[in-house]
Amino acid sequence: MRLSEFIEHPELKKRGIEIVGYIKTTESEFALLARKGASVFPFPKLYHLVEVTLNDRDPDLSPIEQRSILSRFGYFDAISTLPTK
């Protein structure tokens, strides 16, 4: 799933999470996900960085990264909905 699609996830919308800005380092650039209205600097207390490139500003997020983002912002799947082995 692309970042632009994932940011529309109902659980992120409910928590007011969006891309609040971009941070550029000497080697990479990152989209900063945080609560709506948060500033890029200083870093918000609760945030997640997603690496982007000049050629791909809307990267494909793996299911593992999607779960990581959701859990960072306080969403956890109910135990009854987790897959069984």
Q: Where are the domains of the chain?
A: 3-76
Q: What's this model's pTM, rounded to 2 decimal places?
A: 0.83
Q: Is the pLDDT of residue 80 over 70?
A: no
3-state DSSP assignment of residue 6: helix
CATH number of 3-76: 3.30.920
Residue 43's pLDDT is: 86
Q: What is the mean pLDDT of residues 4-19?
A: 94
Q: What is the mean pLDDT of residues 10-17?
A: 92
pLDDT tens-digit readout, 23-71: 999 999 999 999 999 989 888 999 999 999 988 999 999 999 999 999 9
Residue 41's pLDDT is: 87
List Cα–Cα distances, 58 to 11, 27, 54, 74, 84, in angstroms: 20, 18, 10, 23, 32
